[in-house]
């Protein structure tokens, strides 16, 4: 056994040597794929995005030259909660299949009208708020939703739809800085510059003194009115003892 070698390292080298290289001498072996916790998961619940899940797995498969067998073998971990229960049922009924087949099954199951309705509502309700949202995160989340709903939608159309969710002055300011052929990154950069350098897109907030004055006015308005005292003799009001006695003397 070579120096500094252990049964564990020997076993690991043996497994690696048994794998067939895919690109000659500089091949990337399947044993070098990202760890399980670094891979995306899909639950099939809430505002899920199966298209983003597919694209991430496909990108990793291309970058690391991962065989379909390894991807399919990890589906029991990559699919969680509702999706995992569904996977076990389909796997039992249909047996072993490659990754493209599983993608088509996931699309059939989850790319339904209910999913489209949820995603469209999520996009429509995502109005930009400079106090809560970060331009980079907000813009890319909207892009993911639109790309999932319509994979063939162009970047320029995505940019136009997202700009409409900025509203008013902020939308106009971004359009003035970006031409039609600007990339998504250009729009995000312009958005960040405008928000940081100007008050466009920011909500107006009261100063501490204005808040105090508003509270004082509110308290005065809430004070109950004094009851009107009527004369118990004639029923005339408002009752004034001085005037009443004067009238009796006359």
Q: Output phi, psi for 80, to 5 deg.
A: -125, 165
Calpha distance 86→96 (Å, rounded) = 15
Calpha distance 103→51 (Å, rounded) = 9
Beta bridge partners of 29: none
What distance, in Å, lies between the first and last C-alpha atoms of the chain? 132
Calpha distance 16→28 (Å, rounded) = 10
This prediction has a pTM of 0.62
pLDDT of residue 92 exceeding 70: yes
Q: What is the per-residue pLDDT across 38-90, written as a single tens digit (0 to 9) for each?
A: 899 999 998 889 999 999 999 999 999 899 999 999 999 999 999 999 999 99
Beta bridge partners of 79: 42
Q: What angle do CA 113, 117, 123 make, to 5 degrees?
A: 145
> What is the predicted pLDDT for the residue at 106?
96
Q: What is the mean pLDDT of residues 145-166?
A: 90
44: Cβ–Cβ under 8 A, 6 or more apart, which residues? 50, 79, 81, 82, 83, 86, 109, 110
Most confident residue range from 58-72, 79-93, 126-140, 164-178: 79-93
pLDDT of residue 14 exceeding 80: no
Taking residue 98's Cβ as centre, other Cβ atoms within 10 Å add up to 12
Query: Percent of the chain, pLDDT > 90?
Result: 42
> What is the predicted pLDDT for the residue at 38?
87
Q: Are 105 and 91 in contact (CB under 8 A)?
A: no
185: Cβ–Cβ under 8 A, 6 or more apart, which residues? none
């Amino acid at each position: 056994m070579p120096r500094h070698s252990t049964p564990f390292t020997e076993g690991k080298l043996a497994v690696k040597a048994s794998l067939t290289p895919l690109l000659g001498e500089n091949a990337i072996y399947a044993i070098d794929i990202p760890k399980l916790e670094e891979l995306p998961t899909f639950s099939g619940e809430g505002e899920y995005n199966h298209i983003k899940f597919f694209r991430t797995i496909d990108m990793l498969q291309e970058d690391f030259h991962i065989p379909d067998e390894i991807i399919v073998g990890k589906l029991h971990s990559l699919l969680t909660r509702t999706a995992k229960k569904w996977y076990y049922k389909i796997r039992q009924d249909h047996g072993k299949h490659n990754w493209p087949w599983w993608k088509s099954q996931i699309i059939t199951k989850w790319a339904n009208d209910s999913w489209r309705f949820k995603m469209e509502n999520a996009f429509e309700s995502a109005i930009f708020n400079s106090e809560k949202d970060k331009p980079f995160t907000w813009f890319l989340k909207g892009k993911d939703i639109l790309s999932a709903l319509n994979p063939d939608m162009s970047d320029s159309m995505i940019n136009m739809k997202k700009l409409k969710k900025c509203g008013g002055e902020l939308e106009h300011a971004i359009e003035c800085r970006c031409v039609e052929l600007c990339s998504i990154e250009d729009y995000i950069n312009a958005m960040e510059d405008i928000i940081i350098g100007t008050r466009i897109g920011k909500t107006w907030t009261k100063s501490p003194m204005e808040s105090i004055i508003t509270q004082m006015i509110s308290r005065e308005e809430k004070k109950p009115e004094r009851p009107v005292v009527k004369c118990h003799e004639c029923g005339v009001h408002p009752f004034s003892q001085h005037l009443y006695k004067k009238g009796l003397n006359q």
